Amino acid sequence: MSNDELAQLRRDIQILKDIEEIQRMKHGYFRCVDTGNIAEIAPMLHDDVDVHFIGGTYEWNLKGKQAYLDAMTQSFNPQVVAQHNGHSPEIHILSETEATGFWYLYDNFWNLAEGRYTYGTALYKDRYVRERGRWLIRRTVYRRIYEVVEPMPRDKVPNFTYRWLADPNARIPD
């Protein structure tokens, strides 16, 4: 193998490692959203993160890490049951410090306090930057493909036998 071929192989391997790191981060992000683990989400976000989520009944347009974390803390509370699956990632490494990604989202969101069940799909488009050796979410945007919002009268609330966000001691066992 020539020196040029070896150098190209090293670049290709680094790209694959970067893609894997970004995917692992984003999968962790979805896990942390549903478990309300704001402390673990925080280091995934750039300090100046831009957030723009467009649903059928809502729109979030937030600037900065703290604004986003505050909104997440308020939204993912003990009166909520949430399930977000991000899949089919399309990660593009633009340079050693920049990348983009598309994700397909399917989610369920039961708001027990407001008596509302929301579900649907969306397309995420993220922008990532690498700082201090870590990939961070610099911009995250999604727009719904479809959204269904249904009233949930008190007599129609699912029989949840456990709700993670309602359990102050919830954690994954060691």
172, part of any domain: no
Question: Which of 6-10, 84-88, 163-167 is the least confident region?
Answer: 6-10
Q: What is the CA radius of gyration of the chain?
A: 18
Q: Based on the structure, what is the number of domains in the chain?
A: 1
Q: For residue range 17-41, what is the model confidence (pLDDT) as tens digits? A: 999 999 999 999 999 999 999 999 9
CATH number for the domain that contains residue 53: 3.10.450.50
131, part of any domain: yes
- 4 — pLDDT class (breaks 50, 70, 90): confident
155, part of any domain: yes
Q: In what order do the strands lie in the sheet with 80-93?
A: 59-63, 45-54, 134-151, 116-131, 98-111, 80-93
Q: For residue range 142-171, what is the model confidence (pLDDT) as tens digits? A: 999 999 999 999 899 999 999 999 999 998
3-state secondary structure of 64: coil
3-state secondary structure of 138: strand
171, part of any domain: no
Short-list 108, 111, 126, CA closest to 27: 126
**Distances in whole angstroms, Cα of residue 117 to Cα of each of 37, 80, 82:** 22, 10, 10
158, part of any domain: yes
pTM of the entire predicted model: 0.93
Pairing of β 134-151 and β 45-54: parallel
Q: How many CB atoms lie within 10 A of CB 71?
A: 14
| Average pLDDT for the chain | 96
More confident residue, 128 or 12: 128
